[in-house]
Amino acid sequence: MSYISIYEEWCKKATEDADVAGELKAIEGDDVKIEDAFYRNLAFGTGGLRGVIGAGTNRMNIYTVAKASQGLANYVCGNFAEDARRIAVSYDSRIKADLFAKTAASVFAANGIKVFIYSQLMPTPCLSYAVRALDCAAGIMVTASHNPSKYNGYKVYGPDGCQITTEAAAEILADIEKVDAFEDVKKVDFEAALENGAVEYIKENVYTDFTNEVLGQSLVGDEEIDKNVAIVYSPLNGTGLKPVTRALKEAGYTNISLVEEQKNPDGNFPTCPYPNPEIKEAMALGVEYAKKNNADLLLATDPDCDRVGIAVKNAAGEYVLLSGNQIGCLLLDYVCSMRVKNGTMPADPEVVKTIVTTDLGEQIARNYGVKTVNVLTGFKFIGEEIGRLEKQGKDASYIFGFEESYGYLSGSYVRDKDAVDGAFLICEMFAYYKTRGISLLDKLDELYAKYGYCLNTLHSYEFEGSAGLEKMQGIMATMRNDIPQIGGIKVVKVNDYLKGIDGLPKSDVIKFFLEGNSSVVVRPSGTEPKMKVYVSVSAENETASTAIEKEVLAFMEQLM
């Protein structure tokens, strides 16, 4: 069926949502726009769905959400006993997120699946927690994480609280592809389903239990810690306001100021077009507030509150943003040192990180006698490792997991990155060191002095539409040819994860190991039309590392 034929079918049948119907009418006769909206079905994988909100099979709308939900419902009904068919649902502040969440719930309920949904927007880690707490077969989180406002998405979780495995994603996709969005989707009225009990709001005690688990990650014990540190916090118009401030206040941090313009949920993200704490521009308003309040620490979480970024003052009184790798290494060292100090280090401790996350973490872990497990990009692989340990009765061995994209988790109570836990741990670490006259920058310099300087940078290149997808595929094919040098540095080893390496699932990722303990990782994003390049350079100091990184990046950009 051609994209024009599919478009014409949608014009006739997609009448329930006025926004979609209006857009279909607006693009009439525009072949380029029609092709982009209908040339493919929105990709579904281990990250679920993610795309631009709008009309079309390649867009996020109630029809693509309902089709995916029907496929997931068919999968659950085909793989779980009737009394185990339960799905947890949550959503963030994105445009139409509540509508998409209720659409999904209406489909699940129509298929005889019990639905538990939060009565208000809640972070991704709260969804992961609810899946396990309520013994669900699956969970969905309506979010596009840190993407711009035009995006929304649909993450799918398995019964273990992790995002679905590659195998499960393939089975669910097969079920989705059998569904006709207009003929095969079962649906009931959401409010009616609430009344008859097919859909139930998640009770407050589940959220309270989650908060208590976060507070239980404290490592200071009875030691002195100044909790009057001045904190500025921004939820970046997402879900973090209530859970982050609740955890911090219950832990005794009362000197908290909020970035007013970014405090309340708003899917338009008016002051931060890219609501991502990785990006300097998203943190700019928070830095202004920090300066105005003479704050000790700036915290910001992304819309679904699974990533957290920070800024701290340097010796000159200027605010410095720390990278995800830097924060992760500081937290890892803090967790390890405090566990050793408190006598709570398990017999066979383990830290889990992704292959694109700094190798400095492995050196820190080794210093404390902690094993490092490297997994593929995506926190779900860290979650799967936690589950593996749990099945072996060794869940206490897991002490920390992190990834370079500002994701951290110190406990096994959820199976995804948790910015509530991350914010709580960062504040505790900051206050602990400040009480002893040590800044986080001092601590970071101490780590570099001990283990050597390591520069880690991430570079993203956008490739929109069908032509962009083809270009990315061509780049990866080029990368798989023999490349003897990158930026004048000899390539000593290549890991092509598409072949399957170290027992990891096959993945379209290539890692080049360079002479001098540096590396480059290249991969297409699983959720965005982007190619991502991770550069890691080890050298004697920052100046030398930056010079090498510049040469490496120049070579890579020639291939883009």
Contact 175, 125 (CB under 8 A): no
Residue 116 structure tokens: 């538990």
- Which class for 490: exposed (0-12), middle (13-18), buried (19 or more C-beta within 10 A)? exposed
- AA identity, residue 412: S
Instruction: Please state, in angstroms and rounded to a whole number, the distance separating the CA atoms of residues 297 and 431.
Output: 10
Catalytic residue among 90, 106, 145, 536: 145
Instruction: Please state, in angstroms and rounded to a whole number, the distance separating the CA atoms of residues 150 and 148.
Output: 6
Backbone torsion region of residue 178, taken as left when φ is above 0, otherwise alpha when ψ lies between -120 and 50, otherwise beta:
alpha
Sheet holding 350-354, edge to edge: 371-375, 350-354, 398-403, 407-409
Instruction: Identify whether 106 is a catalytic site residue.
Output: no
Write the DSSP string, 253-289. ---EEE-GGGTS--TT-TT-SS--TTSHHHHHHHHHH
- AA identity, residue 148: P
- AA identity, residue 232: V
Residue 13 structure tokens: 């049948």
Write the DSSP string, 50-72. EEEBSSSTTSBSHHHHHHHHHHH
Instruction: Please state, in angstroms and rounded to a whole number, the distance separating the CA atoms of residues 70 and 104.
Output: 8
Q: Is the dihedral of CA 50, 52, 53, 55 positive or negative?
A: negative
- AA identity, residue 453: Y
Instruction: Please state, in angstroms and rounded to a whole number, the distance separating the CA atoms of residues 390 and 470.
Output: 41
Q: How many residues does the chain have?
A: 560
Contact 517, 538 (CB under 8 A): yes
Catalytic residue positions? 145
